[in-house]
């Protein structure tokens, strides 16, 4: 079996041909292939959340061409925005010319917080907590034997003091917990609640909030890429000019918050799409990413792009990435299960690294287009397809309507409706 994720013309294949290619790649059973097409059933949805009245679907596409740490990946992506999947696949193809993406990550260490109020003696309380570290870890470790068996569990305790004029001095306890392949929200919240009574007796204070922190600064992943100027496809000189444009685009996002937010939004286009496809909590990832972008006290670009000495483009992205491959919707959502099988990741850490590589690629796709011909040209032909659909074009009409919309220069739903009516009248 050909295990290269470099699949030329994937976008030109029919849906059935694409499913077949992905099924061959990942060894999907006929049932799993059916799940790809069908998605979440109403009865399953009713078990996932409350007050269900339906299932809201989004397109599930495949990012192709990814080479990460020498391994090929097909990337399931859930996103409503046209051109995200095409653009990221295109950059992944270019990145292969420089050897693909190199990634790394920390151990999956999360933080749970306990807020202690009305502590009579802060210094003494902090010392008492530090001295009771092993006992606190033992309490926290009573609940998830599987995580512990796999080498995870509560690992450490840290104390912080926060002054507040309205509620007085707060003692904040951080429980550091290795969640292994789980995102770990449940394990963390259980552990935080479990140690709270002991913290109260140690400090004489009152425990209020007991909850994980989604700012998972200890659980980070990073990705690097190096792309030679020739990969930009239009000769060395043009390639170098594009690279300088990309570096200047990044400088803009480093210096200006208005640009940085849009720049980082482009990164999250790719990241959220994979996070969603795998049934993970994209709000948690988003919240952490933006806080991380402001970690130096000013919100800035999450990526770094520079021209290396040999004239290549070098990019780097690092951010907190709390993802799971077991538990929650990663297992209960049938498509998420299949998406994880397609990805073939063997750990939550590997998933986090793949996701960050996708974010880096997505950012490059955006700023490369912006620094060159602008994004509207590519965007508009894809946008035209969406408008054609919205205007009521049938599957066999969409491409022709979109093409005529682009030619007309009037990419509006009303124009699409006129074109459809005219085409039907002629046929």
Which residues carry out catalysis? 81, 265, 281, 379
Specify the stretch interacting with ligand MEV by CB under 6 A; choose among 119-127, 169-177, 323-331, 365-373: 365-373
Estimate to the nearest angstrom the gap between the alpha carbon of 189 and the chain centroid.
23
CA distance 26 to 4: 12
Phi, psi angle pair for 83, to nearest 5°: 80, -10
Under rule CB under 6 A, residue 375 binds ligand MEV: yes
**Minimum distance from residue 282 beta carbon to ligand MEV (Å):** 15
- Site residues (CB under 6 A) for ligand MEV, limited to 75-104: 81
Closer CB to ligand MEV, 79 or 348, in the complex? 79
How far is residue 335's CA from residue 343's CA, in Å, rounded to a whole number? 12
Q: Which residues fall within 8 angstroms of residue 53, CB to CB, at 6 or more apart?
A: none
Nearer to ligand MEV (CB atom), residue 72 or residue 272: 272
Binding mask 238-277 for ligand MEV (x = CB under 6 A): ------------------------xx-xx--x--------
Q: Which part of the chain contacts ligand MEV (CB under 6 A), choosing from 26-34, 220-228, 366-374, 388-396?
A: 366-374
User: What is the 8-class DSSP label of residue 54?
Assistant: -
Minimum CB distance to ligand MEV smaller for 92 or for 249: 249
- Neighbouring CB atoms inside 10 A of 309's CB total 6
Q: Is 280 in the site for ligand MEV (CB under 6 A)?
A: no
Q: Are 421 and 391 in contact (CB under 8 A)?
A: no
User: Using an 8 Å Cβ cutoff, are 312 and 232 in contact?
Assistant: no
Torsion, Cα 397 402 407 412, to 10 degrees, reads: 120
Neighbours of 308 (CB within 10 A): 12
- 3-state DSSP assignment of residue 261: helix
Helix, strand, coil in percent for the chain, rounding step 5:
50, 20, 30
Residue 317 or 419: which CB sits closer to ligand MEV?
317
- Please give the Cα distance from 394 to 392 (Å, whole number): 6
Task: Please state the closest distance from residue 70 (CB atom) to ligand MEV, in A.
Answer: 28
Taking the CA atoms of the chain, what radius of gyration do you get in angstroms?
Answer: 25
Our finding on whether 302 is near ligand MEV (CB under 6 A) is no
Q: Work out whether 366 is an interface residue with ligand MEV (CB under 6 A).
A: yes
Collapsed DSSP state (helix, strand, coil) of residue 87: helix
Q: Min. distance of Cβ 92 from ligand MEV in angstroms?
A: 17
Q: Report CA torsion sign: 166, 167, 171, 175.
A: negative
Nearer CB in complex with ligand MEV: 87/355: 87
Pair of tokens at residue 52: 């269900």
- Closest approach, Cβ 255 to ligand MEV, in A, equals 15
Question: Binding ligand MEV by CB under 6 A: which of 367, 393, 398, 419?
Answer: 367
> Binding of ligand MEV at residue 278 (CB under 6 A)?
no
Per CB under 6 A, 300 contacts ligand MEV: no
Decide: is 285 part of the binding site for ligand MEV (CB under 6 A).
Answer: no
- Name the one range near ligand MEV by CB under 6 A: 17-25, 128-136, 319-327, 364-372: 364-372
Q: Which is nearer to ligand MEV, 118 or 256 (CB)?
A: 256
- Tell me whether residue 227 or residue 322 sits nearer to ligand MEV (CB atom): 227
Compute the distance between CA of residue 15 and CA of residue 416 in angstroms, rounded to an integer. 24
- Closest separation between CB of residue 95 and ligand MEV, Å? 17
Q: How far is the CB of 253 from ligand MEV (least distance, A)?
A: 8
Give residues in contact with ligand MEV (CB under 6 A).
Answer: 81, 262-263, 265-266, 269, 366-367, 370, 375
């Amino acid at each position: 079996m050909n295990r290269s994720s470099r699949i030329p013309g994937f976008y030109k294949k029919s849906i059935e041909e694409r499913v077949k290619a992905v099924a061959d790649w990942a060894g999907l059973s006929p049932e799993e292939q059916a799940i790809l097409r069908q998605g979440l059933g109403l009865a399953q949805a009713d078990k996932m959340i409350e007050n269900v009245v339906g299932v809201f679907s989004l397109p599930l596409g495949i990012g192709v061409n990814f080479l990460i740490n020498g391994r090929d990946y097909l990337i399931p992506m859930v996103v409503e925005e046209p051109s995200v999947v095409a653009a990221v696949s295109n950059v992944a193809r270019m990145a292969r010319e420089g050897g693909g993406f190199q990634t790394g990550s920390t151990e999956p260490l999360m933080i749970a917080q306990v807020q202690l109020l009305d502590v009579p003696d802060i210094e003494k309380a902090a010392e008492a907590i530090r001295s009771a570290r092993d006992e606190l870890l033992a309490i926290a470790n009573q609940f998830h034997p599987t995580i512990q068996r796999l080498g995870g569990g509560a690992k450490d305790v840290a104390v912080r003091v926060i002054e507040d004029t309205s509620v007085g001095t707060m003692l904040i306890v951080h429980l550091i917990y290795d969640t292994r392949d789980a995102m770990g929200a449940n394990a963390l919240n259980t552990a935080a609640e479990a140690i709270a009574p002991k913290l109260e007796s140690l400090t004489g204070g009152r425990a209020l909030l007991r909850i994980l922190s989604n700012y998972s600064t200890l659980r980070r992943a990073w990705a690097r890429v190096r792309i030679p100027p020739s990969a930009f496809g239009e000769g060395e000189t043009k390639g170098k000019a594009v690279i300088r444009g990309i570096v200047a685009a990044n400088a803009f996002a480093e210096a200006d918050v208005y640009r940085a937010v849009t720049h980082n939004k482009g990164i999250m286009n790719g990241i959220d799409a994979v996070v969603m496809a795998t049934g993970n909590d994209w709000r948690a990832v988003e919240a952490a990413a933006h806080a991380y972008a402001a970690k130096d006290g000013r919100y800035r670009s999450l990526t770094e792009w520079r021209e290396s000495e040999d004239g290549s483009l070098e990019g780097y992205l690092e951010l907190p990435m709390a993802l799971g491959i077991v538990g929650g919707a990663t297992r209960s959502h049938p498509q998420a299960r299949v998406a994880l099988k397609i990805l073939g990741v063997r750990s939550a850490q590997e998933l986090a690294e793949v996701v960050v590589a996708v974010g880096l690629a997505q950012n490059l796709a955006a700023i490369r287009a912006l620094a060159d011909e602008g994004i509207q040209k590519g965007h508009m032909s894809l946008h035209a397809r969406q408008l054609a659909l919205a205007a009521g074009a049938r599957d066999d009409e969409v491409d022709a309507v979109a093409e005529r919309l682009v030619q007309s220069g009037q990419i509006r739903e009303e124009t699409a409706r006129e074109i459809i009516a005219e085409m039907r009248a002629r046929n």
